[in-house]
Amino acid sequence: MGRKRKKGLPVHGWLILDKPEELTSTQAVGKTRWLLNAQKAGHGGTLDPLATGILPIAFGEATKTVPYVMEAIKSYRFTIRFGESTTSQDREGEVYATSDARPTPEQIEQVLEKFHGEIDQVPPKFSAIKVNGERAYDLARDGEEVELKARKVHLYEAKFENCPSPDLAVFSVTTGKGFYIRSLVRDICAELGVEGHCAALRRTRVGSFFEESAITLEKFEEIGDRDKLEAQLVPVETALDDIPALAINQDEASKLRQGREIVLLPHLVEAFKEKRRPRIVNGEDASRIALAKEDGKAVALGEVRAGRFVPVRVFNF
């Protein structure tokens, strides 16, 4: 029997979607994939249904770069509502504790300083983390007690913006991988000795994808024409802006597309060494990873070793 024909069209690139509230990340991927009639799609980091903002959606060959987007730094704006703590640490959960205590802006500033840098953070019970093969949020919804271990996470920047009212406080933060804003809200309230939950959350950046470049699902749907929809996608290599890029010629590109390694000229090796930095992807050392490009277009991701470029992910456009 012949190979089963894939449904849809070969669409490649990233859509910087401004996800609306109440929509799950999976639903957003499904909707945009249907609009583009794309063969393959995935996203670069889950957003809670109540959260809005940047949800990078990968199509076709861009899905090969998803692990690098998952590792990227992220920025958020969020609001704490004081007075009620909920089971999910956001407004979706059930209220389990209340308090009339309200912190002052000065107290909030002082407490926020304690969370800068690398910290130990316990994820929320209502999260996608797996416990004995099951999602923590499924266990929590079934009423089971879920014990999640603290993990090392990084808070690069944190700013207390203002208090629109005594009940509300607005923040902006930049974080590393695996950081939960709802856990930060829980821990800030605990330090302040008050009850509270996350009332609003918006993601404003994921790596090289920024809020200013995003398109709402409503506007994306309004475009209608499939070719114009595809024109909204950014190139696959956009997700790899912080990875050392190596300019190669047509012959070298041909070899890489065949899965063969190539010998790098000395100046390319030196250029890679200058830009190389520590990087972990999928739990493995990726500090030797570089992006080979022909005429500015991505050809392959690979490792630079002993003056050679060994392809590990080849892009087939």
Helix or strand run (H / E) with residue 47: none
**What three-state secondary structure class fits 57?**
strand
Residue 232 sits at φ, ψ, to 5 deg, of -80, -10
> Could you please report the per-residue DSSP string of 116-130?
SEEEEEPPPSSSS-E
Q: How deeply is 16 buried, as exposed, middle or buried, from its count of CB atoms within 10 A (0-12, 13-18, 19+)?
A: buried
Q: CA–CA distance from 95 to each of 87, 141, 167, 264 (Å)?
A: 7, 14, 16, 61
- Rg over CA atoms, the chain: 22
Q: How many CB atoms lie within 10 A of CB 218?
A: 9
d(CA 301, CA 46): 24
CA angle 178, 30, 210 (to 5 degrees): 50
Q: Which two structure tokens, joined as six digits, stand for 306?
A: 């002993």
18 is annotated as an active-site residue: no
Per annotation, catalytic residue among 18, 48, 90, 187:
48
Sign of the CA dihedral with 88 first, then 94, 99, and 100 last:
positive
Any idea which residues carry the catalytic annotation?
48
